[in-house]
A and B are shown apart, each in its own frame.
Chain A
Amino acid sequence: MFAFVIRRALQAIGVLLAVGIISFAMFRFAGDPVNQIVSLDTPAAEREQVRRSLGLDDPVPVQFARYLSSAVRGEFGVSYQFRQPVSDLLAERMPATLELAFCATLFAIGFGVLMGVYSGLKRDSFLAKVFQTISLIGISLPTFLIGILLIYLFSVILGWLPSFGRGDTVRLGWWSTGLLTTSGLKALIMPSITLGLFQMTLIMRIVRAEMLEVLRTDYIKFARARGLTTRAIHFGHALKNTLVPVITIVGLQFGSVIAFAIITETVFQWPGMGLLFVQAVQNVDIPIMAAYLMLVALIFVLINLAVDILYTIVDPRLRTSIRQPA
Chain B
Amino acid sequence: MAQPVLSVRDLRVEFVTRRGILKAIDGISFDIGKGEVLGVVGESGAGKSVTGSAVIGLIDPPGRIAGGEVLLSGMRIDNLPPEEMRRVRGKRIGMIFQDPLTSLNPLYRVSEQLVETIRTHTNLSASAARKRAIDLLAEVGIPAPERRIDSYPHEFSGGMRQRVVIALALCAEPELIIADEPTTALDVSVQAQIISLLKRLGREHGTAIMLVTHDMGVIAETADRVAVMYAGRIAEIGPVRDVVQNPLHPYAKGLMGAIPSLESETDRLVQIPGSMPRLSAIPPGCPFNPRCPYVFDRCRVERPEPIQHSEHRVACHLYDESSARSEAVA
Which residues of A are interface residues toward B (Cβ below 8 A)? 217-219, 221-230, 232, 236-237, 240-241, 314-317, 320
Contact = CB atoms under 8 A, between A and B. Distances in A.
Given A237-B108, A320-B155, 17 more contacts: A217-B102, A222-B104, A225-B89, A225-B95, A226-B120, A226-B168, A227-B120, A227-B121, A228-B86, A228-B116, A228-B120, A229-B120, A232-B116, A232-B120, A241-B107, A316-B107, A316-B154
A66 to B, nearest CB: 50
Q: Name which of A222, A240, A320 has the most chain B CB atoms within 10 A of its CB.
A: A222
Nearest to B114: A226
Interface of B: 56, 58, 86-91, 94-95, 97-99, 102-109, 116-117, 120-121, 152, 154-155, 165, 168-169, 171-172
SS of B interface (majority): mixed
Nearest to A222: B103
Nearest to B168: A226
A227 B116 contact: no
A317 B152 contact: yes
A316 B94 CA distance: 27
A228 B98 CA distance: 20
Contacts of A221: 58, 97
A9 to B, nearest CB: 27
A316 B89 contact: no
A217 B107 CA distance: 13
Contacts, number: 79
A241 B105 contact: yes
21 contacts: A218-B102, A218-B103, A219-B106, A222-B165, A225-B90, A225-B95, A226-B89, A226-B90, A226-B95, A226-B117, A227-B86, A227-B87, A227-B90, A227-B120, A227-B121, A228-B90, A229-B120, A315-B106, A317-B106, A317-B154, A320-B154
B103 A316 contact: no
Nearest to A220: B105
A219 B89 contact: no
B184 to A, nearest CB: 13
A22 B267 CA distance: 76
Contacts of B87: 227
Contacts of A314: 107
Contacts of B90: 225-228
A314 B94 CA distance: 29
A64 B138 CA distance: 66
Contacts of A226: 89-90, 94-95, 117, 120, 168-169, 171
Given A221-B97, A232-B120, A316-B152, A227 B91 contact: yes
Contacts of B94: 225-226
B58 A227 contact: no
